[in-house]
Structures are given as C-alpha cells and as structure tokens.
Structure 1
Amino acid sequence: MSTTCDIPTAKSQPNNIQVSALLAALPDELGIRFGQKEARHRIVAFLNAACSGSKKWLDANYEMIAKAATNQQVVLQILLWNKPNLELVNGNIAQHYLRINDPRTLIILRDLYVHQDAFKAIREEASVIGYVEKKYHAHHENNQYTIDLIDKLATENGVRVAPTLIVDEKAYVGSASINGTDLASLLA
C-alpha cells in the first residue's frame, strides 16, 4: 500500500513547494481548523479522505496535535484536496458533501479514515454519495469555490502529493516525511 497518493517526481520534493507564497495566499479561515489562530506553531496539511498516506499521517499524529492545540502550541489547518488521482476519487466525491470550513468535519474525516478500506472499495459515484449521506447525515454542500481555491493553492505553489504538510515555514511531502518524534520536537 502506497503511503503517498501520487507517484513521487522531482516536482514533488519539498524544495519545489513555494511555502512563503502559499502561506501568504492561504486565508486563515480556509479548511478544517483545529486550534487557535494565535498558537505558536501552524501546520497546514493537504489531505484527502481516500488517501492512505493522509490517513497514516493523521492517525499517527492526531493525539499529539490535539494536546498541543489544547495548550495553544499549534493550530492544524486541514485542506481537503480534490486531487485528480484514481485512488482518490471517492475522497474527491465525499468532499462535495462535507462542510470543509467546519471543525466538526474533522470527526467525519477521522471516521472515514477508520473505515477507509470499505470506503475506497465503493465503485459507483452514487454509492459513495449514498454512503456519505447515510453514515454522516451529510448533504451536498455548496463548496465548489472552496474546493477550487484549495486546488489552486496546491497547484500554483508546487504541492503535488497528498499528504503534503507545512510545519511553520517548512514543507514535508508524504506520510513518512516527518515522524511523530520530529514533529514533537518542532512543536516543543
């Protein structure tokens, strides 16, 4: 199983991500925000609900981030990325049924990760929609502008792989690019 949801290329290396430009263009209110804006550290995470690497990263780091967010050490800003990739199609569909700017969506995202194998096994678009509507009482959201804005931020600033993480002003590509120990030391 792949831990990134793309084939790594020279373009997917962290040094090709225009971090300063991305952060300057990124609205504070965009995406799922967990923690306070005034926190000492900021993590921006480009994730997708059907990406195994996104799941692996969030699963491995969620408890530490939650504790740090409670202590105003970190704010996590999750940008659900509608990445054109066959492996991610169910995540792309689901994002049209999630309130992308609502912190409660983090609960749904974490549950989608728990059931990711079953979720990714669904083959019909209508079945994916039915799954999300029934399981999460979700409805089609008018969030195409937000989805397009996240995609524009990613593509214009060199983000090519999910997950891509920006911790403060440094980019990390792939779920294994920054482990819990390294992340904990950065957030200390």
Structure 2
Amino acid sequence: MTQAIENAFLSYGKKSAPVKIEVFLNLACPYCATFFQAADETLTPYIEKGQVQYVVKHYDKPREMLLYGTLANAFLDYKDPQRAYELMKDLFAKQNQWSESDSHSIKKLLTEEYGLQEQPDNIDLSLNIIAEAIKRQVKMVPTVFINGKEFQYPVEIDAAELKQEVEQALA
C-alpha cells in the first residue's frame, strides 16, 4: 500500500503511482520557475502512464524576495488543481514581468488578466504547508522529494537527473 502524501492539494497523477514526487516551491523564485518547467517537460509522460504522482506545495516562506509569490498563491483556486497548474505554469513563464512589480499591480494582473479572486481558504492551506515544511526541515525552494528522498534544486538535481531518479524508482 502506498502512503498518502500530506497536503496534496495540488496533486497530479494517480495516488496509487509507485513514484511520489513532491516539490516545495514559490511563484516568485527564479529557480522554482526553472524547476517547474523542467518537471513539466520531464514528468508529464510518467504522470499520464500512472507511474508518477506529482504534488506541488506552494511554500509561502517568509522571505522578502518570495512575498509576491505568496500574494499570487493567495489567488490560486486549489479546488481546481488543473487550472491552478496552468496558472502556475503561465506565472512562472512570465515571472520576470510581474515579480519585480508591486502588490497593487500584481493583484490587478491576477484579477483583471487572469480573472482570479483571492481565495480565503488558501490561508489555512498555506499554514498547513508551512507547518509541513518546518517539520521536514525544508530550508529553501525548490526542495524536491522523490519517494521521500530529498534533493535541492539546482545543486543536487536537474531535469536529466530528475528523469534518472524516476527511472531508478520505477526499476
């Protein structure tokens, strides 16, 4: 029996998949943008074949450069994980256009361009993920766990190594 992943609000793929990949990230982090794109390209076929469950955990880490990511996360609708994923993909792709902005401009972008509204439930979801990050001693974003084994991106894992780890876990 596979163990359920804690705080799997944004989960992609089958819960019964043999490989569990969790990433703690923040929308304002440039390394997270790079990892997200690499994971999107690398993991999609494995997710589609039911081999990987990919769980994205937005870490609202209290650090100045990450605060606008936290603001953007407040607008994601976790009840629609597929739309949240597409929004994250787009926000990461356009990160340099909005992450150096100000909070008013970011809220305007999220509400007017993306048609989003602030999600009150996200405060509790965020607190759950923060508590988990503290418990698991996640110090930086992105931090990736593959079947519980921790990796720091970009130091310990890149797209090729991610694919290699998935292949090893499936073997």
Normalising by structure 1, we get a TM-score of 0.81
Show the 5 A alignment for 1:24-173: 26-27=6-7, 30-103=8-81, 104-123=83-102, 125-142=103-120, 143-173=122-152
Change (3 A) 1:25 1:31: closer
Aligned 8 A contact 1:53 1:174 in 2: yes
Give the partner amino acid of 1:105.
A
Using CA pairs below 8 Å that are at least 6 residues apart, which structure has the higher relative contact order?
Answer: 1
Q: Which stretches of structure 1, 4 residues or more, deviate above 6 A after TM superposition?
A: none
Aligned 8 A contact 1:49 1:80 in 2: yes
Instruction: For 1:138 and 1:85, locate their aligned partners in 2 and report how far apart those are by CA, in whole Å.
Output: 24
How far apart are 1:135 and its partner, in Å?
1.9
Q: Report the 3-state secondary structure (helix = DSSP H, G, I; strand = E; otherwise coil) of the residue aligned with 1:42.
A: strand
Aligned 8 A contact 1:47 1:78 in 2: yes
State the superposition RMSD in angstroms.
1.6
Aligned 8 A contact 2:4 2:15 in 1: no
Give the partner amino acid of 2:27.
A
Structure 1 unaligned residues grouped into runs of 5+: 1-22
Q: Report the 3-state secondary structure (helix = DSSP H, G, I; strand = E; otherwise coil) of the residue aligned with 1:84.
A: coil
Instruction: For 1:101 and 1:83, locate their aligned partners in 2 and report how far apart those are by CA, in whole Å.
Output: 22
Instruction: For 1:24 and 1:42, locate their aligned partners in 2 and report how far apart those are by CA, in whole Å.
Output: 9
How far apart are 1:101 and its partner, in Å?
4.8
Give the partner amino acid of 2:24.
F
Normalising by structure 2, we get a TM-score of 0.89
Q: Report the 3-state secondary structure (helix = DSSP H, G, I; strand = E; otherwise coil) of the residue aligned with 2:74.
A: helix
Instruction: For 2:156 and 2:33, locate their aligned partners in 1 and report how far apart those are by CA, in whole Å.
Output: 14
How far apart are 1:160 and its partner, in Å?
0.9
